[in-house]
Chain A
């Protein structure tokens, strides 16, 4: 029997549906404009067939099995779930409340810091991100925080944000990826998928004040990791030469020096990008760049090295002396040079929704639309080695997808349904509950009773 269910009805029957075993479900999302980001391309009106949490077919003419639950997406747009390429989401709650922030190591360690242990599937920010079409986060540790949520006028910038001597190392720690699915008890899908590091002004500041020191310190850390890997027994017997880093930090760096774990480098100035590209080639490191505001100035070199870039698509101010060349054309120019680009938002709350708009903005400044869609879906998945499971709508992949009122990259568009691994997600959040509570209207009792 074919059950035809409107989206609203689908949402209201959600509790019933989620009680059913996932394995038994076949779902057909029919009639939507599909932006598959995979071999199926863009389909003006087509079907995505989901079975057992996986996508089994995508196309204009897909036979819908008789037992399938049908979700009508006609007049709407269907895209893969969005992937945040570098975020604090799931390990950060309220930026100015330190107790709620688990995105940086503090003073005791560097490379060994493992962000996976702070991932909280019950973060109130997750439903908010999910409502913006985000189904997956790549959680990257940061070196330190400014402390004001990016607000110049808070007074916080005037009193905090500088590093103290003796803090940890240049390495911010190990990256994890987390699902934003509701109802999971452990959201970490894969841990230790990368190592994060800050260079440029932030790295220099950690290294004592200059770039020359930062690169030398990084090199010596990697050399020590190689030495340690060859001399573990000697180290255990106290026969190795002393390392400035702990055993945990050195262990964490071994997959990096062996080229198995990508090194995410936050870097901004063109000359710093040139230096890290050279360094990575010499050291045979697998590199990902984040920031890269002046990337367009060395776009060919980045493309030649095959290094992908995560950029904030709104950056266009000389916010510091290492971003004098910031321009909204960065994404377009890097893409044109052949660089794989993923677009991100800022790291705070905006990150939850800003990434897709930043990708849209980049379209106005030279990034082709298809590349812009890829920059928030398949590209971040590829960059982090997750594209075998997510990032596009193609058979065999997880059924992480979003149904939108229109173009996913435009500002007035919103998501009406979100599926993660084939499971329909609740379309609510703490914010929406607040909005409903204060919906204009009269009541004799205080809102707390609503």
Chain B
């Protein structure tokens, strides 16, 4: 143990051209990936941009989920494992509401479009409420317990939410109606690359939500209080910030973004099952770590990049390698660059 630690320290402190060896390796790896991708872009631009388009749309969804992981981690240093399942639950609830109003793809009318637009805020509120409740009953009582306790509880909460969905639908595929306009009028070839309205919808929706989040976090009093609480909880209390309220707000907003992501996922892929949140959650968590856990722009960037990595890996390497590659990134980041891409480097005196 001691030797491996000192070996790691030696690797970290080794320097090449003024940069630490690990940073150097990081840039070489990134550079190689970019060169390889650029080569592909020149050889077969159509495929490249097609994959790029899909990767960005997929990455936008991961970004929405990753934001919730990073915000909660930032404020109470807890990895909320139930977050991925909250994401799935929102798609399941959304599909149930649409089913209740008999909205389906075969007879889609203007009234149905209105219902769809209403489903977003309704599911966001429900899921926000559920996530706040989870924090209240499962995490808050353990606020001052050793770190492992809430972590285990979070895993338990993940199984609980999955269990609820299993009781509701069993292990069957749950269909989410394919409501976004598609077909002849809503797709086009630009320079040989196939673009659909769906892709544009996903990307635009994610950009709008992330921008709203940025405005809220940087501009509003509650948003600033959330950042303050994340940076120093005791000091925040001493300034009169009610940290329980602030933490609840963080869980609420994280869940709202995941809920939007879940419905967007449903509209985009149309099929899901109770277990979906496990893999989406882990990949989104990887995205959050990749961007720098606790860092909000980092999570958005990490989500986008992980989406791209997945898409390129699926296409150029083979989809059976994709999970291996994604989680290798997680391990590599944790070992060589624990602060992530946009990790905090502000000196603290």
B and A form one assembly: no
**Which residues of B approach A to under 8 Å, CB–CB?**
none
Q: List chain A positions with a Cβ less than 8 A from chain B.
A: none
